[in-house]
């Protein structure tokens, strides 16, 4: 019998990779990078340790790819908001805040990871680079909005907005049960726009 076609193999490979990335994302997010072992990831991704190393050269490389993967989702959420047509700048901001808060609620693990990595992993240079890169691309996205809103210093405004979201993320991480996520959302929107929930 002939071996699988190249395309089939590529598909399989991509699927496997994503499978591993998802498992790693979840574990890194909930337990932290250092505390998560390759064995655990392999078990969660339902493959063997050895095979995992066919897809990622090292734990550190895996982490890097997880970072890219994780931020990609965040960026894409923002992107889709930005691409919605017929929205005033104000409505855009509301929509963006909505999407971030939704993500915090629904993809807690992802947010935890993104945040914990930003902090925890600065010690690993390659990861630090990756994070800085993707974080900056997020900020640029935000900047566009503040430009449209006519703010005086849109770059700094974008950074402040980013800081708020990150900070809330941290607080939410510390106590996701009791945290008044919705109230905070209203509060922020009120600061930026005249918003009645």
Sites of contact with a copy of itself (CB under 8 A)? 30-32, 34-35, 112, 115-116, 118-123, 128, 131-132, 135, 153, 156-157, 159-160, 162-168, 170-171, 173-175, 180, 183-184, 187-188, 191
Report angle CA 10, 12, 17 to the nearest 5 degrees.
95
Closer CB to DNA, 15 or 163, in the complex? 15
User: What does the chain come to in residues?
Assistant: 197
Q: Tell me the chain's radius of gyration from C-alpha atoms.
A: 19
The answer to the question of residue 9 lying near DNA (CB under 7 A) is: yes
Q: Within positions 15 to 74, which residues make up the interface with DNA, using CB under 7 A? A: 16, 35-39, 47-51, 53-54, 57-60
Q: Which of 78, 110, 96 is nearest to 185 (CA)?
A: 96
The answer to the question of residue 80 lying near DNA (CB under 7 A) is: no
Name every residue whose Cβ is closer than 8 Å to that of residue 42 and which is 6 or more positions away in sequence: 48, 49, 51, 52
- Tell the smallest beta-carbon distance from residue 39 to DNA (Å): 5
């Amino acid at each position: 019998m002939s071996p699988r076609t190249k395309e089939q193999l590529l598909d399989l490979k991509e699927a496997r990779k994503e499978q591993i990335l998802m498992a790693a994302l979840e574990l890194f997010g909930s337990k932290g990078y250092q505390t998560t072992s390759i064995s655990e990831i392999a078990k969660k991704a339902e493959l063997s340790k050895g095979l995992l190393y066919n897809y990622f050269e090292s734990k550190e490389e895996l982490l890097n790819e997880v970072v890219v993967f994780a931020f990609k989702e965040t960026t894409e959420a923002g992107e889709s908001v930005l691409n919605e047509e017929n929205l005033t700048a104000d409505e855009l901001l509301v929509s963006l805040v909505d999407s971030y808060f939704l993500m915090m609620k629904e993809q807690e693990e992802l947010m935890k990871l993104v945040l914990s990595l930003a902090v925890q992993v600065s010690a690993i240079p390659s990861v630090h680079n990756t994070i800085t890169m993707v974080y900056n691309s997020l900020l640029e996205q935000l900047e566009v909005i503040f430009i449209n809103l006519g703010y005086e210093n849109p770059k700094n405004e974008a950074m402040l907005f980013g800081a708020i979201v990150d900070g809330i993320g941290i607080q939410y991480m510390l106590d996701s049960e009791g945290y008044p996520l919705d109230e905070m959302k209203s509060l922020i929107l009120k600061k930026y726009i005249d918003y009645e929930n």
